[in-house]
Amino acid sequence: MELVYYPHEILRQTTQPVDSISSELKDFLKEMVQIMDKNRGVGLAAPQVGNSQRFFVAKLQNEEPLFFINPEVLYTSLEKNIYEEGCLSLPGVWAEVKRPAAITIQALNLKGKVFRLEADGFLARVIQHELDHLNGILFFDHLSEKKRELLLEAYQKVRPSK
Ligand code: ZN
């Protein structure tokens, strides 16, 4: 398993729902956690490792990883906030992005059980960033055209060669 980098086309594709939580899928998700940890990420979505299905992992510092399979958004707050975001698919660049401050999400966990999570703060931010990946959206899509151009220019100078 390897990270894929922007502008890899899979990062722009919409993902397909998972139809069964097989042992292969569980192993895949666990391997994603390892890759995320190794690269000091806090979230990683399937397209970022070349898989076009609807799942992602997230892990805050010193906490257990969370697995989100076939996630659905139930609620997003009207209140928004700004956080600096980066992305393992665009290493070396960051930008401040405005998003809803809180979110409620429903998904299947690794055991195939439905769970609901109300998140705010940094976790809400991570979840929204990863959800975007499942719809082919990247964090710089939320920036103004000017800021996006500057970010992509900077990325061209530091992007991984492969
Ligand atoms: Zn990302």
The CATH number of the domain where 134 resides is what?
3.90.45.10
Residue 88 in domain = yes
Residue 113: domain span:
9-158
CA of 152 to the centre of ligand 1 (A): 14
Task: State the pTM of this model.
Answer: 0.96
**What tens digit of pLDDT does each residue of 36-88 get?**
999 999 999 999 999 999 999 999 988 999 999 999 999 999 999 999 999 99
Number of structural domains found in the chain:
1
> Looking at the domain assignment, is residue 150 inside a domain?
yes
Q: Is residue 2 part of a domain?
A: no
Domain-located, residue 1? no
C-alpha of residue 87 to centroid of ligand 1, in Å: 4
- Respond yes or no: is residue 130 known to be catalytic: yes
Q: Is the C-alpha dihedral spanning 94, 99, 103, 105 positive or negative?
A: negative
CA of 85 to the centre of ligand 1 (A): 8
Task: Specify if 3 maps to a domain.
Answer: no
Q: pLDDT per residue over 121-157, tens digit each? A: 999 999 999 999 999 999 999 999 999 999 999 999 9
| Sign of the C-alpha dihedral computed for residues 65, 91, 51 and 116 taken in this order | positive
Catalytic residue among 2, 85, 130, 145: 130
Q: Where are the alpha helices (DSSP H) in 39-142?
A: 121-134
The rounded Å distance from CA 8 to ligand 1 centre is 13
